[in-house]
Chain A
Amino acid sequence: MPIWMHGSWMMAETRLGRVEQLGKRTLGLIAEVGYLAALLTESLYWIFAGVFQRQPVRVSSVFAEMMRTGVSAIPIVFLLSFSIGVMLAIQGIHTLRTFGAESQVVIGIALSISREFGPLITGIVVAGRTGSALAARIGTMVVSEEIDALRVMGIQPVRYLVSPVLLAMLVMLPALTIMADFAGLLGGAVYSAMDLGISYAAYADRVISVLKTGDIWQGLIKSAVFATVITLIGVANGFSVTGGAEGVGRATTRSVVLAISGIVIADMVFTWFLNR
């Protein structure tokens, strides 16, 4: 084979290699999405049908998970949401001052907190805390054969480990979001009172008159979707751990990055459909 032909052959081979890589990655992505869907279906199956199979999801486990994922996240969610409320007030007043309409800042704060920042901040905090902890916990159990042990004892790992977390997250994330809404609004109120002299009562009246039930619901529906995304990504990364402690570390990092990306993208998609 002449050298020039050899060169073009090599290029074609490299190109083929890239196409092959792309194909493999696409298939991998489809497989992963399929796995997440199967995981969700199985978790929901045990939540609803476990009782009839005499293998119920333990209420005590659900409460333990609610404490772990929800109650212990209260301080940090409160602090961050309050700060976001203050920041929104600062930026809003600064922008609206150009038009001499700074007293309208309450509308901006109320809507953006309840529709967007409340669920988003809560989701990101919980993804960082619970998503990573789930991946680490389940990954460690995979490495130390605890998952196999559960399976051979006739205990379905998804029922025992995943369903309680999913249920707890579906309750606690919306609950935390409501608290985040309050904290954010409070942050906005504190700064507005300092800068514009709006009284708390007037601020509250304004918020109540601006907000519709739909705005709150929008945030709550989003938070339920985030709860599902965080749980599934954390658990799936945990179950797929290979290669000991290093693998657990990789899965933990991957689950946080993927969960936060998933939340933000899901948020964009939801906002698109709910507001058009």
Chain B
Amino acid sequence: MSSVSDRMLTSDPVVEVENLVAHYGSHKVLDGVNLTVNAGEIHIIMGGSGSGKSTLLRHLLGLRRVTSGRIRLLGHELDGVHRSELQELRKQIGVSFQGGALLSSMTVGENVTLPLREHTRLDESTMAIMARMKLEVVNLGGFEHFMPAQLSGGMIKRAALARAIVMDPKLLFFDEPSAGLDPVVSAELDELILRLREAMHMSIVVVTHELESAFRIADRMTVLDCGKILISDTADKVRNSANSRVQDLLNRRPRVEELDADAYLARLTGE
């Protein structure tokens, strides 16, 4: 895997985040986040619940406005980008959501052909063939006439992945691929992500809190904690990091907050 990351370091980054600050109301969720994802790498954004990783992903997808800071995707600035430019940019980006987010009123096949139908002028049979090809890639050949409600959790994630890659994106975002899946299905999905990168040469950003899955596929990792980046480096360097908080996260040790009796009382009474 290191050969891939070495090769990619020479290319232009596909994601650049500089000093990103984000708030939910008055609560600061992201605090000065800097992140670079190089072309062709599998980059894992990792962190526990409430670390801000989902918020970071929503910012990267242009679904939330930043308080301050800059985000560049495939060389395009997200903030202030014209609608039509954003539209073009989004055609080069695939996203697989945590719950799949397949449109429940459509069959799996219709879901996968949706981006093609909206953005290209291909005829029906070509679209159907392309959808079937992508479904074959994710081992879901023959399921195009199924409704999303008829599929299992793992199948929904794979179908969502097929929809995400149907336009052959340069950049793929994957939100929590392992969440809610048993270890075997989760491992299959990891293999699929690795295969996709090799076959389609895309850059893949995966947001996850599953350590095992993360180390299985990562070229580089960014570890978030309480809205700040603890470390952003190759998987090996993250594993051997001297940062105690990183080690706590990697070894599943809960954060122990030292609080004396007076401070605890003050917090309870709100004074």
What is the interface of chain A, defined by CB distance below 8 A to chain B?
53, 55, 140-141, 144-146, 148-155, 160
Contact = CB atoms under 8 A, between A and B. Distances in A.
Q: Give the 10 A-B CB pairs with smallest separation, nearest first.
A: A154-B90, A149-B101, A145-B101, A152-B95, A145-B97, A154-B87, A153-B115, A146-B101, A155-B118, A152-B61
A159 B103 CA distance: 16
Given A145-B99, A145-B101, A152 B118 contact: no
Interface string B86-117: 11101101010111011110000000001100
Contact of B63 (A140, A141, A148, A153): A148
7 contacts: A141-B103, A141-B104, A144-B101, A146-B104, A149-B101, A152-B61, A152-B93
B156 to A, nearest CB: 11
A225 B69 CA distance: 44
Nearest to A64: B105
Given A151-B63, A154-B115, A155-B115, 16 more contacts: A53-B84, A144-B101, A145-B101, A148-B63, A149-B97, A149-B101, A149-B102, A152-B62, A152-B93, A153-B95, A153-B115, A153-B163, A154-B86, A154-B118, A154-B119, A160-B118
Contacts of B115: 153-155
Q: Which of A140, A145, A148 has the most CB of B within 10 A?
A: A145
Contacts of B98: 145
Contacts of A55: 118
Contacts of A151: 63
Contacts of B63: 148, 151-152
B90 A153 contact: yes
Contacts of B118: 55, 153-155, 160
Contacts of A154: 86-88, 90-91, 115, 118-119
A144 B103 CA distance: 9
Nearest to A150: B103
Q: Which of A55, A148, A154, A155 has the most CB of B within 10 A?
A: A154
Given A153-B114, A153-B115, A154-B119, A148 B99 contact: no
Contacts of B102: 146, 149
Contacts of B61: 148, 152
Contacts of A146: 101-104
A146 B95 CA distance: 12
A136 B95 CA distance: 25
A144 B99 CA distance: 7
A247 to B, nearest CB: 16
Contacts of B103: 141, 146, 149-150
Contacts of B101: 144-146, 148-149
Nearest to A152: B95
A240 B169 CA distance: 30
A148 B91 contact: no
A150 B117 CA distance: 13
A140 to B, nearest CB: 8
Contacts of B93: 152
A148 B91 CA distance: 14
